[in-house]
Amino acid sequence: MINGKKVVVVMPAYNASKTLEKTYDDMPKDLVDEVILVDDASSDETAKKAKELGIKTIVHSKNKGYGGNQKTCYREALKAKADVVVMLHPDYQYEPKLVSAMASMIASGIYDAVLASRILCGGTLKGGMPLYKYVANRFLTLAQNLLIGQKMSEYHTGYRAFSKEVLETLPLEKNSDDFVFDNEFLTQVVYFGFNMGEISCPTKYFTEASSINFGRSVKYGLGVLWVSLQFRLHKWGLAKFSIFDNDRGTLDTNHSPDHAQSL
């Protein structure tokens, strides 16, 4: 716990058996109350490894997509009575030791959401990020900042922390089950008036680290631009989009996705 707040780390996993243990070992468990891993129908032994490590594990018998995986993660975190939820990928691309710093920024009440920025550290390309992804990251972040009125260094990190109130308020059920879920989520954070901060985070790119291919990156980028444009049109009253309407779109903790089981 931090400041009397229960800290839960959620790990959306897909074929992460080779990196899970290292990620888990480097996590500051003295401040983390519970770890929950959601295995999105991996073809390797991710779930088995998680169980061996003593991690609470939820398994999708059918792949639900990256966004669908996160929805299960956050439902389970709320069921566990989390006050602070940190999403950490189990592929060891991000620095697990920063969990405590990110959680503290939420538990202090200063921020409602925190992103671990790969850009602020200044060593993104040295860490192995492909040049085309770096250029796309900078372009998309500039466009997003202009359209949604923020000054973040990046929106595309997979390392994030949120307060319970954020997860209980946002209409996350209305979001995509694909990768664009991440940016729908952050755009909703801004739309519903929550405070968002950043922390510098070094990252590592290597064979076992998860990454989407060029084709899916293009689809993701177009989706990001469309979500930001939706935000602006909705704000101006020129159109209405369901992802900015939290009527019956919040996470239902009594609901479990089809084809999911707890180990």
Q: H or E stretch including 21? A: helix 20-25
pLDDT grade for 258, boundaries at 50, 70 and 90: low
pLDDT in tens, 158-210: 999 999 999 999 999 999 999 999 999 999 999 999 999 999 998 887 666 55
Task: Please tell me the predicted confidence (pLDDT) of residue 123.
Answer: 73
pLDDT grade for 263, boundaries at 50, 70 and 90: low
Output the DSSP codes for 107-173.
Answer: HTTS-SEEEEESSTTS-TTTTT--HHHHHHHHHHHHHHHHHHT---S-S--S-EEEEHHHHHHS-GG
- pTM of the predicted protein model: 0.93
CATH numbers and ranges of domains, the chain: 7-248 (3.90.550.10)
Q: How many CA within 13 A on the CB side of residue 178?
A: 10
Task: Please tell me the predicted confidence (pLDDT) of residue 210.
Answer: 58
Report the mean per-residue pLDDT for the chain: 93
The one-letter code for the residue type at 142 is L
Token pair 């990110």 is found at: 102
d(CA 187, CA 172): 11
Task: Please tell me the predicted confidence (pLDDT) of residue 129.
Answer: 82
For 226, other C-beta atoms within 10 Å of its C-beta total: 14
